[in-house]
Every structure is written in structure tokens, then in C-alpha cells.
Structure 1
Amino acid sequence: MKRIGVLTSGGDSPGMNAAVRAVVRKAIYHEIEVYGIYHGYSGLINGEIKKLEVGSVGDIIHKGGTMLYTARCPEFRTPEGQKKGVENLKKFGIEGLVVIGGDGSYRGAQKLTEHGFPTIGVPGTIDNDIPGTDFTIGFDTALNTVIQAIDKIRDTATSHERTYVVEVMGRDAGDIALWSGLADGAESILIPEAGFDMDQIISRLKRGHQRGKRHSIIIVAEGVGSGVEIGKAIQEKAKMETRVTVLGHVQRGGSPTAFDRVLASRLGARAVELLLEGKEARTVGIQSNKIIDFDIDEALSQKHTIDSEMYKLSQELSI
């Protein structure tokens, strides 16, 4: 293999740039040309493809977002769109592709492999919802962004003696909510994997109020529902002054943490190695701090789960 491509797709996440850098420099180290595909699968269909050099990825390891940009592409879900993408890859002489993104990006990679084009997936999403890997690129940075925000919210919650509901991202996964809630001592954590009982939440709030507690933090994963609506329900039932903060896309931005930079570098480099080994339809990940790879079909067929022991602990510590 003498020429490979790399693209980022789906929602951006801090550390994507570090992964792109690793792919480019690992490949060039092994005397392989690298072509960047801009705007994800949309750019693949439209031929937005450009050769990358060592200097092309200089000074990006510390930057959030993705230098290759990203976009949604409904057209690539069709066989016609997929064929256009493969034709452009062949037109540029690209023999293998690294796709950095979440499960939607993985489905695109899966389709390319079905069309006979070697593709490797790298998990880049703040949601941490890719089965088979302990962590995805961007999760740690997003988590720390949320924690910093909750720390600030707790200060004003204490000053005004209020209950604050904080809605965090994660799509259908509750990892950001669970980890940030445990790290910040939230009174209740609402995640889609476990459901919730509003009466229990109200009971916990009132029990805390009775023992002299004057403020509370409740974390809501967006997959559960609207934080605004949940905040209204709490205020009406608990008769406590309640405010809602929806953190939104601020969680996707910012300079990646050291953990995400190192993880992205390790995963991006391993993806190149897999292509050199003649592998295809694989995805890379990390388990117990070891870089692993497994079938991309396996990743897409499994259901995301949370750490049930961690969730139980969060409930025990929020009495």
C-alpha cells in the first residue's frame, strides 16, 4: 500500500486533529502518501481531496475541532453515493482509508468495505458510545468541560440556595452525565440506560433540605429528555426554586486534554498499521490501557452499556 486517505465525519470532538496528525505522520514515516478528504463523506463524493505533508498537520495536536472539517451526508447512505465515493478514491489512487468518527461514520466505513475498499475506523466522539473501547476520542475533554461548568454552577446554586438542573450531551448514551455527576457529587443523575423515578428525585431533594442542605445539582443526559421540562416538573412538585442550564455545544469544543491527545495519537497510528498489515473492516480502541482492534461489524452490532457499578455508587454517595 502506497497511498491512503483520512477523513473525519459526524460530530466533531476534541482530539480529532491529534488523530489526523498521527495518521499522516505514521504513514509518511513508512513512506506512504496521505490524502486528506475534506468535509467527511460529502467531500468524498464531491472530490474534495488534497495531498497532506508532514507540515500540513503541524501545530494542530492541541487544537479542538477538525482541520479536515466535517459534515452530514445523507447521499452517502445510498448505493449511488457510496459508488461515487469509491470512484473518487480510485481516481486519486488511494488504496486504503482511515475514518475518524462515531457510529454513523462507522456505518459509512462498513459500506466502503462492502464495496471492496479497505477501511479502518477510529472512534472519535464525545459521547463515548462505541462498544468495544473503554474510551472514545474527545470524551475526556468534554467531561472536563462539563465538570468545570458544574463547579461554577454549584457556586451560584449555593449563593442563591437553589436547585440546578444541568442538561449535558451524549445523545442516547449517559456516560457524560454519569461521570460528571459522580465527579461533581450531583444529587441525582438521569441517564437513558437506567431511567428515573421523579418521586424518588423529589424525595431525595426534600430529605436533603430537611437536614439543612440549601442547594442541589441534578444532571440530565439529553437522551432522557428536555432538561427544561424536567426542571419545571421538579420545581412544581418539590416547591423549590429551580434553574436549568443546557450546556450544549460548548462540550464539543476546546483544547483536548493530555489523555485525549495521547489516545488519539495511539489510535490513529494503529489504524495505519492495520492498513499496512492488509486488514480491513476493523476499528481500533482501548481496553485496560492496551490498544486493540476488532471487527467493525461487531462494534455496530453491539449495544452501548454503562458501568452499572459506577451508577450504583453515584446513588449510594448522593444520600
Structure 2
Amino acid sequence: MIFGKKKFLAAVGDFEKAAGARDGEAAERAFAQLYQAAEKAGDAEFREAGPRLAALLPSVPQGPRAAVAVVTGACVERGADPSACAPAIFAGARAGFEAAADFCARWAETGGGELPEPDDELTDEIIGRTGEEPAIGWFTLPQWEMACVAMLGHRSVRRESAGTAELLALAERVTEASGHEFKCLTYALRVLDDEPLVVLHRETGTGYVLRMTGIGDNFQLHTLLAGVLIGGQHVPGDAPSAQEVAVCRDAPGQVPTQGSFNLAGPDGAWIFNEGTPSDIPVVDGARLLVLDPPPYRRGWPAGRFFPGMPGDLVLDRVLDEAEAAEWFAKVQPAKG
């Protein structure tokens, strides 16, 4: 029986001992106790527990490993060092997606048909068809996605972590094989930081050099662009309110907003709000975006795709007339 205020850390200690002794039953009991104690744990306990749990991940069996990863992610959300926790989380996620890719291949080889959802119940029939390790890989993907997104909410992790490109490729491979979209994970892996962005406003013939960081989707980018360019009186239009811009940076919540532009690439094709800034093509070392008049009025809740990820868009400078003309020479007319 655990007494005292630090039940969570005591349960972490019991889990460490059980994992070290490879005592599955004791580890299961300790993890259940750990999970229950987490409800009343304080931030200091979460800060200490995160790296300890992350260090255990390689030694935890495949099935419960993803559940431990989720708790580790919760620790990071409560203040644990994300850089200390992320490598083990990403390694486990890569292994999970590799197993899931094998699951999709074996499913197709054994008759195909509609795949079970990753959050469905794992049955003996499914294990018999694909094998245990591939099946566990498939059915733990939602947990790995949750744990990875908790890590990727931190700029330090996005900057430092190796293997994220490999993880993105694996997630895209599984999506192609299964038709199941792991949108939160793939969007988080595509987030850009300190990324140069050249923006051309076609109506006025003006151009701007900006820098974007931590922007989860193009809805968020759209509102921030309007705040910087219309709110800064660089281009005409109705500027979003201070609150609409704030919730796209770091303020909590969502507020209604209206679109100000139609986003387009240098080929004139639309860049959809539903996509990510990584969809914007790179031209001469910078992502190049053209702003056209909106073809219709469209509204959405201004905010962040990842509520815990601060975003920013900074205007570095306004292009002079000659520079803007050089960039406009690289773009095609707008496409309907």
C-alpha cells in the first residue's frame, strides 16, 4: 500500500522495479496504480516521472509500451522535459508503424477486405490472421499518435529530434496501405519553424518576406497573414480582431473569423486552408505564396490546430518594387 502525497512517484518506482525484474504481473499492477495515482499528482511529480518512464519504454513489452508512452506524453504536457522523453517515444512509434505496415500487408495477403479501425477491439481472430506483433502494432497506433503529438508540441523537440522524417514516411505509408489518416501526427510532423515565406499580394503588386513558426494548418496561417498584412495596413481589407489573431498565436480558445484571401501557389493553383504550410512550394530557397481575392465569403473558428502549440508569423521586411517584380515573374496567373 502506498501512503503519502507522492503516490504517483511511488507507483513509478514500483513499475521501474517490476520492469527491471521482468515481472509482468507486478508491472501490470504497478502501472494500474500509477495510472490511478496520476489523477491527483502534482506538476513536480509529472516533471520527475516523465524521463523515468521514457527510459523504461525499450524494456516494456510491445502491448503495454504504447500505454506507457501515453502517460509519458501526459507528463510532458504537465512540465516534464520533452527533449529527454522524445527519443524513446519516437523510436517506439516508428516500431509501431513498421509493425502496422506489416499488418496491412498481411491483411491484404489473407483475403483483404475492410481493415478494422485501430481503436476497435483486438480479437484472437485478427491475431490469427496477421500475427500478434503486426496486430498489436496496428491497434496501438492511436496511442503512439497521441504520445508523439505531445512531444511535437515543443519547438525544441521539432528542432532536435532525429527520425521524425522517417516517422512521417512510415505514417504516410500506412495511410496509403490502409486508407486511415493519422492527421494529427502527420500535421505535427510537418510543422515548420523559422521558415522563410515570401508572400505576393496580386491585387496591389506588393511583396513581403515573413517567417513562420509552429503553425499547424493553413486556417491558422490565413488568419495570421490577415493580421500582419491587413492589420498592419500593408494591403486593403477587413483585418481580423486582436482576439482572432491572439488565439492563432498563444491565447486559449477559438473565435469566429472570416477569410480575407484566396491562397495560391506560384503555379496559380489553390493552397487549401485545410492543408498545412508545408504544402506551399519552395522557390529559390523560400516558400512562395500568392494572395488573391477570395472567390466567396468563408468563415471558420480562428484558433490553432494544436491548442498546446504556440504559433507565430513575423514580417521581416517589405519587398521594394523591383524585388516584388522579380518574384512576380516566377508566378503564373490565378486558376479558377
TM range (shorter): under 0.3
**Structure with a larger share of its residues in helix:** 2
The structure having more radius of gyration, on CA atoms, is 2
Q: Which has the higher contact order (CA 8 A, sep 6+)?
A: 1
TM-score by length of 1: 0.28
